């Protein structure tokens, strides 16, 4: 029987800010930017959640709900530093730690009893060490698979710990509302409620045939999730991030494709620089657009070979943009993400180029050196000059 933990930090960005400034504790704090500007809530303290504020909410709406809240822009660098410290603690307990984001990870403790004792005791050690060393609270779900562990950690927030013992899975799941199941959002919930499904127990009473007929492959997934079935392994990623991304919310919604491409060029240069700094190459490029009505669309493309050069990555990104962008539609946010990261580019020399990629490598080494010395904006692509400089 596997012993899987889902460790989820409580209001992580806010909690880090509270460690750095203890006067914030217990106060309504929102991390996410200027309350008079644009953007969305990145994190909300539990004190401000009483007013209906939650993450991903437009910052202007959060201000209306709680005008006396303390608004902080936040620091991704600081949050990344604390995240690395959390993962360092987790890796003391198991080599199998799978980060899912800056503030959550799966930990496989199967076979670690001799080192750390029973799983419940080991989980308590982890939670206590995170609190004592970093001053942060974590909620931990414990179960025989990743799906159940994740549901358990969400159930026991904040600062809780819940173990779903073997044989108790159905008893735990049955009374839960279907929104507790990962992957069921507002639209999925509404569709299922039309079928009379309100709880996980209701969902478990539907046959595989019924669900597949109604929802196809998603129906198969629902059938398994309602029964707490998951075979997904915990995959260790010790050094390299799962992805590198950057996005910006525009000061004013834009329909100008030239301006949007310019902004995309700037963002691509920023992220490509991060890739080269970490000596990584991206295998897949993903574009994200959010329109003024908050509809969000994404598209991705796998490269012929992994790359870290601005011109290659931007060519792919702008190609995705031109396919995805709806003429005349107002864009609120634009972002670029690089995934399938590798330390090996598997580059082949061009047939008639005796220098292969060396000339490009030298160029970007020079660009990175100048930026390091004089600042990133000291040297930009021509089509980045008009981009959003956030």
Using alpha carbons, select from 254, 272, 390, 244 the residue that is nearest to residue 325.
Answer: 254
Q: For this structure, is 104 an active site residue?
A: yes
Q: Which of 18, 98, 104, 261 is catalytic?
A: 104
The position carrying tokens 């995934």 is 339
List b or e across 289-323, with b for residues whose CB sees 16 or more CB atoms inside 10 angstroms.
Answer: bbbeeeeeeeeeeebeebbbbbbbbbebbbebbee
Using alpha carbons, select from 273, 277, 301 the residue that is nearest to residue 287.
Answer: 301
Q: CA 293, CA 368: separation in Å to the nearest integer?
A: 38
How many angstroms separate the Cα of 362 from the Cα of each of 25, 33, 306, 355?
49, 38, 18, 11
Sheet holding 97-101, edge to edge: 97-101, 104-108, 4-9, 138-143, 161-163
Q: CA 284, CA 377: separation in Å to the nearest integer?
A: 26
Q: Which residues are part of the catalytic machinery? A: 104
């Amino acid at each position: 029987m596997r012993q899987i933990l889902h460790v989820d930090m409580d209001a992580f960005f806010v909690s880090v800010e509270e460690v750095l400034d203890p006067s914030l504790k217990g106060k309504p704090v929102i991390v996410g930017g200027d309350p008079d500007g644009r953007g969305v809530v990145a994190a909300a303290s539990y004190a401000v959640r009483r007013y209906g504020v939650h993450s991903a909410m437009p910052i202007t709406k959060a201000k209306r709900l709680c005008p006396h809240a303390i608004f902080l822009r936040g620091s991704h660098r600081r949050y990344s530093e604390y995240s690395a410290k959390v993962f360092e603690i987790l890796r003391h307990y198991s080599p199998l730690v799978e980060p899912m984001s800056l503030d959550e990870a799966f930990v496989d403790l199967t076979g670690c009893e001799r080192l750390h004792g029973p799983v419940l005791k080991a989980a308590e050690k982890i939670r206590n060490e995170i609190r004592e060393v970093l001053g942060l609270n974590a909620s931990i779900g414990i179960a025989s698979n990743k799906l159940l562990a994740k549901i358990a950690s969400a159930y026991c927030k904040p600062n809780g710990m819940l173990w779903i013992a073997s044989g108790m899975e159905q008893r735990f799941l049955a009374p839960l509302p279907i929104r507790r199941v990962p992957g069921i959002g507002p639209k999925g919930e509404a569709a299922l409620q039309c079928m009379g499904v309100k709880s996980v127990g209701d969902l478990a009473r539907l046959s595989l045939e019924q669900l597949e007929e109604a929802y196809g492959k998603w129906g198969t997934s629902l059938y398994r999730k309602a029964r707490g079935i998951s075979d997904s392994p915990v995959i260790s990623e010790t050094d390299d991030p799962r992805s590198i991304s950057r996005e910006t919310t525009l000061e004013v919604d834009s329909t100008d494709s030239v301006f949007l491409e310019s902004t995309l060029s700037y963002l691509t240069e920023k992220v490509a620089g991060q890739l080269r700094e970490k000596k990584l190459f991206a295998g897949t490029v993903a574009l994200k657009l959010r329109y003024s009505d908050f509809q969000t669309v994404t598209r991705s493309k796998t490269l012929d070979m992994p790359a870290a050069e601005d011109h290659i990555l931007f060519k792919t990104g702008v190609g995705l943009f031109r396919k995805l962008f709806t003429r005349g539609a107002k864009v609120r946010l634009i972002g670029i993400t690089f995934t399938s990261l590798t330390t090996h580019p598997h580059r082949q020399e061009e047939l008639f180029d005796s220098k292969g990629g060396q000339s490009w490598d030298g160029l970007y080494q020079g660009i990175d050196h100048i930026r390091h010395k004089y600042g990133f904006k000291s040297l930009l692509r021509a089509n980045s000059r008009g981009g959003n400089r956030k």
